[in-house]
Each structure stands twice: as structure tokens, then as C-alpha cells.
């Protein structure tokens, strides 16, 4: 290509890369600098040689200057094919070295990323396992709480039944110890004997309740507590009960469904006109769902 070895060496040191294109571009961009530097050195050498020849041979300085000028106009010696091939091979080797170093860096970076990814996966698995454990513990706690509340509700119902039995027994004892005057005065009359016996055989009246305590077990509805205890007047309608529950649970009243267990009955919005007494929901436990 006609570049001197000094220029090629400078291009390899100062070019953007060791590629042939970048080196040639750098040489073309700095051609003027090289020419000025070479002219300066050639002129300096010419002056030195002229001074030396003038001192020893006595030749005029003009002839030496003319020879130096002639040497400056001579074109640089072009590179041979072997030199070109050697330079290209050198550039290829350097490029291969850089490529191998970059591949090594990429492999190390890939290994680091793989380690980070594995740590992240392990952390995710650990967090998921801890979350599952917490959910299982919460579910077990809810089941224990529900069982405890069920036991308390059954105990309250049992206490109410026992209280009702005691009340009936006391009334029966009072009637047996203090019979009505009409029965005692007419006990000797044969005509009144059947009447007295029929009167004593009649069943005792049920206790009169003015309020109903209801326990609601909530299923399928998001709520802060799985059970509710409410007291309503005995003549309250199921519709008013549903409105109260809907306000507390933030759901539509007409979507509430009540299910009894013993016996199993399902009460929907079609039954909301019934009172608690008519629906036989006096001191009862029911399941509350949403349709």
C-alpha cells in the first residue's frame, strides 16, 4: 500500500482498533502531519550533509539542497504482498485475542447471572413455603375458633332447653300442690270426675318468648369473624333480619340464604315475610350464605 514501517507502527498504536480499515483511515487522516515531519527531518539531514560536504570537499551547498529536494519527491516504497499478508495476519491475531477475552468476560458474566437467578429462585420458593405455612396455621386457627364457638352455641341452646324444662317442672309442681278450688269442691261429685281427670291430662303450655337469640355461621362470605350472634324480637320478619345482616356484612339483603340444620331447611328472600316465630327460628343456630 506504500506506507512506511514507521507509519504502520504508529497506526497500530494510535488507531481506534487493530483492523485494517481503522489503520488506513488513521494514516489518511494524519498524512499531512507525517509529510511535514518527514520534510523537516529530510531538510535537517540535508543541511547537515551539505555542511559536512562543504567542509571536506568544497562543493557548493546548492547542489546538496537540490539532491535533498529530489529525495523528498521520491514516493515511499510500497509494501510487498508478504508484508501485507503479515500485517493482516497480525491484525487477525489481535482481533482473535480480543474476541477470546470478550467471550471469557461474557462467560463469567453469564455465570454470575446464573448464580443470582438461582438465589432468587430459592428465595421465591422459601417465601412461598412460608406463606403456605402461615395460611395453614390461620386455617387451623379458624377451625379451632369455629369448633369452640359451635360448642359454646350448643351449650347455650342446651342451657335454654334445661331452663325451659325446669320452668315447666316448677309450674307442674305448683299446680299439683295448689289445685284449683273448683276441682277440690267438686271432687265428690261423680259427674265432675271425668272433667277433672281430663284437665290434669292436658299438656302444659310452652314458655312465651319475646326475643330470639340467633347464631349465624358465615360461609362463602368475606367477613372479619366467621360467626355472629344477634338478638331479635320474636315477631321480627326474616326480611328485617336480612337487612341487619346485609348492613353488617356489606352484601345485598335479597342475596342472603339461611339454612337450618335440625331439621334441614333453606330460607331465601321468598320467605322474608315470615316472622321468626313462624319460621321456627327461636334461639336457633343457622348457616348464613350468599346466593
Q: Which residues of the chain have pLDDT under 50?
A: 55-65, 67-73, 183-198
> What's the pLDDT at 262?
73
> What's the pLDDT at 69?
46
CA dist 202 and 183 (Å) reads 15
> What's the pLDDT at 161?
93
* CATH number of domain containing 280: 3.10.20.90
Sort strands 265-267 and 256-260 into parallel, antiparallel or unpaired: antiparallel
> What's the pLDDT at 58?
46
Task: Tell whether 13 and 75 lie within a shared domain.
Answer: yes
Q: What is the pLDDT of residues 106-119, one digit of tens each?
A: 999 999 999 999 99
DSSP class per residue in 236-257 = -BHHHHHHHHHHHHTS-GGGEE
37 in a domain, yes or no? Answer: yes
Name the phi and psi angles at 227, rounded to 5: -135, 150
Over the range 52-75, which residues count as b (16 or more CB within 10 Å of their CB) and which as e? ebeeeeeeeeeebeeebeeeeeee
35 in a domain, yes or no? Answer: yes
Final residue in a domain of this structure, among 158, 175, 192: 175
Place of cell 281427670: 197
Task: Tell whether 36 and 70 lie within a shared domain.
Answer: yes
Task: Tell whether 70 and 113 lie within a shared domain.
Answer: no
Task: Tell whether 228 and 267 lie within a shared domain.
Answer: yes
Task: Tell whether 117 and 153 lie within a shared domain.
Answer: yes
184 in a domain, yes or no? Answer: no
276 in a domain, yes or no? Answer: yes
Place of cell 412460608: 130
Task: Tell whether 73 and 134 lie within a shared domain.
Answer: no
201 in a domain, yes or no? Answer: no
CA dist 279 and 237 (Å) reads 9
> What's the pLDDT at 57?
47
> What's the pLDDT at 49?
63
Task: Tell whether 282 and 217 lie within a shared domain.
Answer: yes
Task: Tell whether 65 and 114 lie within a shared domain.
Answer: no
State which residues form the domain around 233.
211-290
66 in a domain, yes or no? Answer: yes
pTM over 0.75: no
CA dist 203 and 205 (Å) reads 6
Instruction: Please give the tally of structural domains in the chain.
Output: 3
Q: What is the pLDDT of residues 248-287, one digit of tens each?
A: 888 898 999 999 987 788 999 999 999 988 988 888 889 9
195 in a domain, yes or no? Answer: no
Check if the beta carbon of residue 267 is closer than 8 Å to that of residue 216: no
Place of cell 337450618: 260
Final residue in a domain of this structure, among 48, 79, 110: 79
252 in a domain, yes or no? Answer: yes
Amino acid at each position: 500500500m506504500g506506507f512506511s514501517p514507521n507509519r504502520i507502527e504508529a497506526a497500530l498504536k494510535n488507531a481506534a482498533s487493530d483492523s485494517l480499515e481503522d489503520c488506513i483511515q488513521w494514516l489518511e487522516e494524519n498524512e499531512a502531519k507525517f509529510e511535514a515531519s518527514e520534510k523537516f527531518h529530510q531538510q535537517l539531514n540535508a543541511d547537515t550533509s551539505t555542511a559536512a560536504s562543504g567542509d571536506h570537499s568544497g562543493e557548493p551547498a546548492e547542489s546538496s539542497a537540490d539532491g535533498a529536494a529530489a529525495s523528498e519527491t521520491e514516493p515511499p516504497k510500497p509494501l510487498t504482498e508478504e508484508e501485507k499478508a503479515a500485517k493482516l495476519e497480525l491484525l487477525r491475531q489481535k482481533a482473535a485475542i480480543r474476541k477470546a477475552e470478550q467471550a471469557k468476560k461474557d462467560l463469567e458474566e453469564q455465570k454470575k447471572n446464573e448464580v443470582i437467578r438461582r438465589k432468587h429462585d430459592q428465595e421465591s420458593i422459601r417465601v412461598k413455603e412460608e406463606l403456605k405455612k402461615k395460611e395453614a396455621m390461620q386455617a387451623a386457627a379458624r377451625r379451632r375458633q369455629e369448633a369452640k364457638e359451635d360448642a359454646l352455641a350448643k351449650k347455650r341452646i342446651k342451657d335454654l332447653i334445661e331452663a325451659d324444662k325446669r320452668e315447666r317442672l316448677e309450674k307442674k309442681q305448683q299446680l299439683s300442690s295448689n289445685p284449683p278450688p273448683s276441682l277440690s269442691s267438686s271432687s265428690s261429685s261423680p259427674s265432675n270426675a271425668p272433667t277433672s281427670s281430663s284437665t290434669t291430662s292436658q299438656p302444659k303450655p310452652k314458655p312465651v318468648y319475646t326475643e330470639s337469640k340467633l347464631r349465624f355461621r358465615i360461609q362463602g362470605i368475606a367477613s372479619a369473624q366467621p360467626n355472629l350472634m344477634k338478638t331479635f324480637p320474636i315477631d321480627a320478619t326474616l326480611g328485617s333480619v336480612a337487612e341487619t345482616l346485609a348492613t353488617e356484612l356489606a352484601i345485598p339483603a335479597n342475596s342472603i340464604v339461611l339454612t337450618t340444620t335440625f331439621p334441614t331447611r333453606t330460607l331465601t328472600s321468598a320467605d322474608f315475610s315470615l316472622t321468626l316465630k313462624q319460621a321456627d327460628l327461636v334461639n336457633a343456630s343457622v348457616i348464613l350464605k350468599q346466593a
